Structures are given as C-alpha cells and as structure tokens.
Structure 1
C-alpha cells in the first residue's frame, strides 16, 4: 500500500528530521493507540540495542502491513548514549537512515521507553525532564514515563509534572504502575486498585495516558535456565476492564522475550495493545556476530562484572562495521522472527487501519 497520503500526519517534531526523498513515516503514537484500541491486535515495540536488526524488522512490517514501534529505554539511550551508544538524536537518525535504505514507508512509532524516575529527588526528576526534551527534539512520537518505583501518590505527581510537553503536542503517552523486574527477580504484581488509583490521580491532574504498563508477572531480559514464565492474564484482563471504559486506557505488555508464541497469541484478548520485545533482538544480533567479536565482548563483560548487554557501547563501532554477509544474515534472522511475532501479535493489516483512521479524520 502507498502511504504517501499519511506523510502529512507525521508530527512536526519528527517531520523536520526526515530528509527530502526519505520515505520514513513516523506517526503519532497517540493516533496509533487510539486507532487500534478497539481492535484485538498489539503494536510490537522493538528495543533496538543493535541496529543491524532494523532492516529485517522493517522488511517484515512492510510485508505484513503492520505498524511497528522502535524504542529505546533511558538505560539504553539517554543523553550520554546509555549502554547502546545511541543518544535520542543518533537513534532517530539511525531509524530514518534505515528506512531510506529499506524503502520503508509503512507508518511506525518512535517511542521513548522507560523514562525512569527512581526516586523523588529533584535531580532524578529533572534528569527525566531533560531526556524528554531531547527525545522531543530528536523526533520521538510516543513516550513512557515510568515513575513506578515510587508510591502511587508520588508516581502520579511526578508523571503529571513531566507529561506537560508531551500533552501539549498531543503525542502518545504510556505510564506504569508496579515496577517490572528483571528476569530472576520477584516483584509485587499490580492490582486493579493500584491501576485505578493511578488513573484517578492522573485524570485529576489533567493527564490522560493512552497506555498503562503493569507488572503481571513478566520479566525484563532473558529468563534463567529452568525459570518459569508466569504471566497472569486474568489479572491483566481485570485491570484492563477497570481502566479502559472509564479512562480510555489500554495495557502495555513488557518483558515478552522468551514467552511462547501461543501465549503471546492470547495477549490481545486481555486488553494488551502494545507489546515490548527487546532482549530477543539483542539475542538475534549476538547469534549472528562473528565469533571472535562475540568472544571479546563476553570477555569484556566478564571482566567488568556486567551483563553482556553493556558490551554494546564499547564495541559499537565494530558491531556497526561487520561485513555485509554478516549484516545480511542478522537481517534475515530478524525478519524471520519479526514475521512470527507480528503474526502472534495479530498485527497484520494494522498500518492500513491506522492510515484509514488518520485520513478519515482529516
């Protein structure tokens, strides 16, 4: 499908980052989430730590006519580049350049994942405010303010204080209740009462999110060997029913890496409309990188006492410069995985739905 007619709906902050002749079509996350809210489908949001996977994801999205989101969390890409070496500006330029090479004109979202505020100090809050400003300037079209580390009154207050510039532009907004832990750790699962309280407080403050991320038992990162995957979909559905009709909010699912496709296929039935996949793309890139390079990355991580993901930044130049056959192999693996995930997410044809909603609204 030709999406040239949709280009006029690209938000101003994103459109100025697209050179003439580039087909990239980053649309407003809010437009996407609202257009798909009544459909039992899920927007796949891909945390891109290693850009080599982007062409494969784009190719699959175009083939399946699926809206996709490309995202970086604060830890992955802050003002100093996080542990990926990509600042917001570098990230957007990377996506836009990839769209040009792939002739990718299917509508997509650029999302600021996990803009975390881990405590109530002024320095922590202002750091998040500066990151939001940088992401807006770079061309992001959707944002996740994550103050879930704090008690709900503080979570709501901090979220409301940071959401102003996003709301002024009418861009996509995700918030979070119940901190989502890393694999191998336990955390309190979000409750209906907590979700409703956060939404009530945000509504009273004039903040109207599109998505709520909850802790329903999923984990970030790779699951440990033998670790059980236990996602409470019944609880998810209860929370969704409590917040959707009253506040117009759907559920964002984090921590999908390692989840069986047959279980992912059920997510849309429980109000999940955005699903984050991050570590899986890293795993695919790592599996395709030259063994000698991966060996040095593992040695670096072991010596630093850190997870292998932290080797991404110091080895970024080498990763980006792998030989063309290696890049092609990683692209193919990402394409194959993306097709399977788009199918599980029931995302085929969502780009046409979003385009129809935008054009019909004009």
Structure 2
C-alpha cells in the first residue's frame, strides 16, 4: 500500500476543515469529565449504527479504522466513513487506529484521515520514541493529529496476540518525557487493560493512571474497554481518561446477529441481515455512549 497521492482531490477542501477535530473532541471531553466513544469500523453497517447511536443520544463520536480493515476496504472504506461523518448531525471524525507502517499512515492521510494512532509499542522505548517523533513531525506538518502508546498491552488486536510476559505498563515519568519529545496530541496508556476479552477479572492500576495524568499535558486514551465493569470505566474517566476504544463488543454483536439470521432462516435476504445488524450494533453503541457520559455533549 504505497498510494500516497490523493485519489479524491475534489473532497480535499472539506477534508482540510477536519484538521485538529480529533484534538478538539478530546480536549472538550477532558474539560467536561466525559470520554469520547471511539468505535472500530469495518463496513457500512458498523458506521451507520455508530452514527445513528451518536445522533440519537447527541454524543460526539470517533469512527476508527484498523490497518487490516484499511488494506481490505481501501479508499472506498475511508470515503464511506468520511461521507457519513460529513453528513452527521453530531461532531465526529475518522481516525486510523494502531498503525506502525509509515506507508499505511501516509496512504490513510492521502485518502483523507487526519488523525493517526502511531503505534510503536512493539518497539523498544527508544525506538518507539524515535519512530513516534518522526511520524508526528510529518503528520502535524500536514495538519493532522497523533495518538501514540507508551507501554505494551496484552491480548488480541488487529490479528496479533501478545503474551502476559510482554506486558509493560506505562511509566509516569517516562510518559512525561515521551510526550514532550514527540509532540503527540494524545497518549494511550497501559495500566492493566488488555485488547479483546478479559479471561480473568480485570485489575487496573488507577494510582499509576493518576500519576500519569499529573505529569502529562495531553489527553489520555484507554484501549481494551470491552469487558471492563462500569465502575472501572467511571473511575478511569474521573482519573483523566478522555477517549475509550471499543472494538470487540460491536464486532461480536454483528457476527452473532448474522449467525442468528442464518440459523433461523437460511434463505434470509441480505438487506434483512444488514438492517438487523445495524439495529443491534446501534443499541450496543448507545450503551457505551451512556457509560462514557457523552450524552448531550455534541
């Protein structure tokens, strides 16, 4: 994927107006003591469900695309998300999630995505810092925003599995230095959260989170919220989290809805599956919006 030239030039005047919306959404959330719900999107049904949920509850929202989904859906997937965001009645934007490939980053930007999660968490601390700083300079020079991660999460994301031995929580002192040296717009923290489903009851280090919040000036992000109890979500927001990522739950609901449709009627129409999937995912997204206290924050 090395198509760095913009394939949709006619839309770039509007796209340029989206610059920094990611930062504005997170800043407002931090000041208002709520969090921006950020949902991973794979298709039309998911994007439609999330925006409908956000509009019904008057919540700001972020549509996120993982690199694997981007490589599969290409520019049409991005343009679909951008068009839905453009037509949305609530503040919304499109974000590239968990990317460590510069080619994919630059291609996503050429296609109109203006905020990127530059993911160097699989590298050494020094390599992560250098990679993130280099990418941030280029992305910000083009008018974009950057989320990055310090530490390493366990679990499954984007087809990758990490063992518990590899886990490295975010160091509060290193976090401050990392933010200062890279110039990122938001920091994803590792405090015991994992990608995917929690096999054991989750244990989050809130003391660590509060220390990071004291030392870091940019908004904080928590990945791996699927399966976290409501109490922990509320504590995380009170301790300074301004954005929550949601992937596993909506994806699972979509697949379960499809399976249910086929099992009850093998000849079911595809449009029927689409409609039922949108309805099911919309209700799940609304539950998350309520949980993240972003109702009426549009």
C-alpha distance after superposition, 1:139-188 (max 9, x if no partner): 11211111122222221111111122321133221111001221584212
Q: Could you tell me how far 1:35 is from its partner in structure 2?
A: 3.3
* Aligned 8 A contact 1:50 1:285 in 2: no
C-alpha distance after superposition, 1:235-288 (max 9, x if no partner): 1111111112xxxx1211001111123322232111101110011111010111
Counterpart mapping for 1:64-79 below 5 A? 64-77=57-70
**2:92 maps to 1:105:** no
**2:146 maps to 1:170:** no
The residue number in structure 1 matching 2:188 is: 213
Alpha-carbon distance in 1 for matches of 2:111, 2:134: 21
**2:124 maps to 1:144:** no
**2:249 maps to 1:286:** no
Relative distance call for 1:259 and 1:236 in structure 2 (3 A) is: same
Q: Could you tell me how far 1:17 is from its partner in structure 2?
A: 3.6
* Among candidates 29, 32, 36, match of residue 29 of structure 2: 36
Relative distance call for 1:76 and 1:219 in structure 2 (3 A) is: farther
The residue number in structure 2 matching 1:199 is: 179
- SS in structure 1 of the partner of residue 94 of structure 2: strand
Relative distance call for 1:33 and 1:91 in structure 2 (3 A) is: same
- SS in structure 2 of the partner of residue 289 of structure 1: helix
**2:276 maps to 1:329:** yes
TM-score (norm 2): 0.83
Counterpart mapping for 1:89-128 below 5 A? 89-96=75-82, 98=84, 104-116=88-100, 128=101
Relative distance call for 1:232 and 1:158 in structure 2 (3 A) is: same
Counterpart mapping for 1:80-91 below 5 A? 81=71, 85-87=72-74, 89-91=75-77
Q: Could you tell me how far 1:13 is from its partner in structure 2?
A: 11
Task: Give the superposed CA RMSD.
Answer: 2.9
Divergent runs of 4+, >6 A: 12-15
Alpha-carbon distance in 1 for matches of 2:7, 2:171: 36
- SS in structure 1 of the partner of residue 278 of structure 2: helix
- Bigger drift between 26-35 and 160-169 goes to 26-35
Counterpart mapping for 1:225-240 below 5 A? 227-240=200-213
Relative distance call for 1:138 and 1:322 in structure 2 (3 A) is: farther
* Aligned 8 A contact 2:85 2:93 in 1: no
* Aligned 8 A contact 1:27 1:108 in 2: no
The residue number in structure 2 matching 1:343 is: 290
TM-score (norm 1): 0.70
- SS in structure 2 of the partner of residue 212 of structure 1: strand
Alpha-carbon distance in 1 for matches of 2:66, 2:58: 26
C-alpha distance after superposition, 1:215-238 (max 9, x if no partner): 1111111233xx221222221111
Relative distance call for 1:327 and 1:174 in structure 2 (3 A) is: same
- Bigger drift between 268-277 and 32-41 goes to 32-41
Alpha-carbon distance in 2 for matches of 1:210, 1:242: 15
